[in-house]
Amino acid sequence: DGITADEERCRTYAESSPSIVTPLNAYLGYEEGTRVVKQSLADGKTIREVVLERGYVRDGRLTEAQLDEALDVLAMTRAPQEA
């Protein structure tokens, strides 16, 4: 009863948000991150899809694990854990 979120659709929206590219700046640089965002918006693809298509993992700029960590939208919404 009540409203139920479409989890897959919400995930797609979150993973397509231009703001999630910020953690990738450490690997790609600001200018390249901007290009990723522009292509994502123009092509209607997620940030992850564009990063993979542009070959940044293949050419060694970052690993698949680093990409996963940088684009973990759930981690971005959690408060930092105490050490």
pLDDT at residue 83 greater than cutoff 70: no
Q: What is the CATH number of domain 7-71?
A: 1.10.40.30
Q: Is the pTM of this model over 0.85?
A: no
- Encode pLDDT of 18-70 as tens digits: 888 999 999 999 999 999 999 999 999 999 999 999 999 999 999 999 999 99
Average pLDDT over the chain, rounded to an integer:
89
pLDDT at residue 80 greater than cutoff 80: no
Q: Are 6 and 12 in contact (CB under 8 A)?
A: no
